[in-house]
């Protein structure tokens, strides 16, 4: 039976893709349409709404689309985001990225397009927007909320570092893949009696290195929250290798990890619109140093390395069970709030239970590994203390 139209909800996905985005889009769309809402999918993150042309004759198919059950069912079991994504930051849009039809009005090196975003949302008749993203994407959602727009946000990032929640969409699949790929590569490391160095995600937070190591995938891990001594790491890995009957050892290296006295390693000087330079190369540097230092702790004999950056291998493909279930729940939680007329919230998992918190928690603090509680700085690996009453993935920032 047709229901009275309760309004229009927009969904968008921003930042890096992760498995679980399409299940979230599916859950929101099906529930919203059943409740009597029209659902619009904004394409390419915040870029789609910035670039929209307010003209009935304009082709805006690259900027938004109406979502139906048939459309979302087809994509809901797959990875990535069929709405596509970008790292567009409307409050700091470079002059080169200003749409052609707005170039005469916005000519600064960086332009605040928030008025354009709000105007375009109103043009489409959007009543609520549900952004799905990490702290960068959601920081702009906070801005829209402060401007008076109705926002209910969903946390997504394989780094699992959005504040206020124990869990972000994409994290479980990332951890699962990291463990599986480490186990795949250890056969080569063992065959050649080498060090295995795997660079994993984690710009500021080391959760993606800590959890697989805690699960037994690696002997050691180095994370952004603690600058490590490369000689100490080499000594430990030589010892780990010696104690292993197959004569190899494994270390997981967060992309944001830093040598003692050093800084983050960047691939180049180019920055995205959120001010982040592209990380890359710390795994190679660790590998080079381990090989050079290994004779000092291995009776003068050099130990060769296998160096692998996991990168998009843990980002692509289908979601695991957790990243199929949690996005479904998050999407329905968002609708629960909207049906109650509540907005300005972030849906979350806290201590194993679904909940919601004020959206501005995203910009109010950082979510990092608690070094004192979870990371043994002397042994460069997680602590294995009592896990009683800890959440499922053990570590949160609170």
Mind giving me the DSSP string for 271-302?
E-TTSPEEE--HHHHHHHHHHHHHHHHTTT--
Whether 156 contacts 22, CB under 8 Å: no
C-beta separation of 257 from 228 below 8 A: yes
List 17, 135, 136, 159, catalytic entry: 159
336 is annotated as an active-site residue: no
CA Rg value for the chain: 23
- CA–CA separation, 8 vs 39, rounded Å? 6
- CA distance linking residue 134 with residue 155, whole number of Å: 6
Query: Which residue, 113, 85, 114, is CA-closest to 99?
Result: 113
What DSSP character marks residue 201?
A: -
User: Which 3-state string (H, E, C) describes 106-126?
Assistant: CCCCEECCHHHHHHHHHHCCC
How many CB atoms lie under 10 A from the CB of residue 191? 12
Catalytic residues: 159
């Amino acid at each position: 039976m047709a229901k009275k139209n309760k309004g229009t909800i927009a969904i968008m996905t921003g930042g890096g893709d992760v498995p679980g985005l399409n299940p979230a889009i599916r859950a929101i769309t099906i529930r919203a349409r059943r409740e009597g809402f029209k659902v619009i999918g904004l394409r390419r993150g915040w870029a789609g709404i910035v670039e929209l042309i307010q003209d009935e004759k304009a082709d805006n198919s690259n900027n938004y689309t109406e979502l139906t059950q048939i459309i979302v069912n087809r994509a809901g079991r797959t990875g990535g985001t069929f709405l596509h994504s970008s790292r567009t930051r409307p409050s700091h849009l470079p002059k080169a990225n200003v749409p052609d039809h707005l170039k005469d009005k916005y000519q600064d090196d960086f332009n605040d397009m928030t008025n354009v975003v709000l105007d375009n949302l109103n043009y489409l008749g959007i009543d609520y927007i549900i952004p799905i993203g990490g702290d960068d994407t959601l920081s702009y959602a906070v801005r829209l909320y402060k401007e008076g727009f109705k926002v209910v946000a969903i946390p997504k990032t394989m780094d699992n570092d959005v504040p206020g929640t124990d869990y972000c969409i994409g994290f479980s699949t990332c951890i699962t893949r990291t463990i599986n790929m480490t186990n795949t590569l250890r056969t080569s490391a063992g065959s050649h009696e080498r060090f295995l160095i795997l660079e994993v995600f984690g710009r500021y937070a080391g959760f993606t290195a800590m959890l697989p190591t805690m699960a037994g995938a690696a002997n050691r891990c180095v994370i952004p929250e603690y600058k490590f001594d490369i000689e100490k790491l080499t000594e430990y890995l030589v010892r780990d290798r010696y104690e292993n009957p197959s004569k190899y050892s494994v270390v997981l290296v967060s992309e944001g990890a830093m040598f003692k006295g050093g800084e983050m390693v960047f691939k180049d000087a180019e920055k995205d619109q959120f001010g982040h330079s592209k990380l890359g190369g710390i795994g190679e540097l660790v590998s080079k140093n381990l090989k050079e230092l290994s004779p000092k702790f291995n009776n003068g004999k050099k130990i060769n390395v296998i160096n692998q950056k996991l990168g998009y291998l843990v980002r692509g493909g289908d979601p695991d069970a957790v990243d199929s279930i949690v996005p479904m729940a998050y999407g329905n939680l968002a609708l629960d709030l909207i049906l109650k007329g509540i907005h300005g919230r972030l849906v979350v998992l806290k201590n194993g239970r679904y909940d919601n918190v004020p959206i501005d928690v995203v910009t109010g603090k950082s979510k990092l590994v608690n070094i004192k509680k979870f990371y043994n700085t002397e042994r460069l690996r997680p602590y294995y203390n009592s896990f009683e009453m800890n959440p499922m993935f053990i570590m949160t920032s609170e």
